[in-house]
Amino acid sequence: MIHEHLTEFHGLPVRDAGDEEARGASQVAWRVGGDPDEDGEGIAGSFQRLFDEVDCGVVRALVVGSWGWSHDGDTAAVPVGLLVEAAHRLPALEAIFLGDYVSEESEISWIGQADVTPLLTAYPRLKRLDVRGSEGLELQPVTHTSLETLRFESGGLPAAVVRAIGASSLPALRHLELWLGEENYLGDSGPEDWAPILAGGGLPALRHLGLQDSERQDEVAVAVATAPIVARLESLDLSMGALTDEGAEALLSGQPLTHLKRLNLRHHFLSEEMTAKLAGAFGGVEVDLSDRQNPDDDWRFIEVSE
């Protein structure tokens, strides 16, 4: 999942500036990034190479890789600053992936981030924002009328970021995916933090919701079972976490889920009996119950943490 650099993003192949296979600046997601052992100067040089060699006026997607030692808080804000400064040179930019570090370069919990709100204000036509890592991550409540996909990959997503999403107005957002993680890695959100998202007030177009990779996946399931936003969803993702029979029972006894096209519960700690019960409980819904872990294990681990 985070062991290889992205090869595709926003439906486009990922290429580096100068790549002879890249044909047509608008048909490629361009990767910028320095050496993980360098400071912020490496990524600045990579941006300059992009400006020198690519028609940036038609670039639609950027994948931002390493900007130096991931744990260095002094460099975490560098890529955001470079992107904000370059906004006038990237008028067609639709999608940004921020933090394409792989595990050999940095564990996900070590990836330093900064306040990503300036990206949304600098790019009012942005359709997609993906962020990997949460050390130092911040987000302020924001209104953005173009954003359709928002994803945060982390071993622990800070509650303040979750609350900011719930307090934002994102009328075009269709896909929201949050890897909530565990408290040891900054994932300190709880039901009171998820509640504004689940109420759906600022997310009228949402069709996919992922609240996943959580050590509190049972509590997520309980909250989702009565959440107003669920009725408008086409797919629901509660995968990657420590879901047990308790959370599954909440889904079964809560509001109907038969309107969904897909329910993802992959990587779970359900009993065999509950797994079989869920498999036949939702009619024509595609239910993913793969990657079953031993429910009798004392250690119930999430899929992505450190």
pLDDT of residue 2: 77
Both tokens of 245, joined, read 């029979």
Confidence of residue 58 (pLDDT cuts 50, 70, 90): very high
Q: Is the pLDDT of residue 67 over 80?
A: yes
Do the beta carbons of residue 264 and residue 239 sit within 8 Å?
Answer: yes
Q: What backbone phi and psi angles, to 5 degrees, belong to 80?
A: -65, -45
pLDDT of residue 3: 79
Arithmetic mean of pLDDT, 41-67: 90
Q: What backbone phi and psi angles, to 5 degrees, belong to 8?
A: -145, 140
| Residue 245, H or E segment | helix 245-253
Arithmetic mean of pLDDT, 234-246: 98
Both tokens of 65, joined, read 């890789």
Do the beta carbons of residue 306 and residue 155 sit within 8 Å?
Answer: yes
d(CA 17, CA 211): 35
The two beta strands, 12-16 and 8-9, are antiparallel
Q: Is the pLDDT of residue 167 over 80?
A: yes
pLDDT digits (tens, 9 = 90+) for 191-221: 999 999 999 999 999 999 999 999 999 999 9
pLDDT of residue 257: 97
pTM score, whole prediction: 0.96
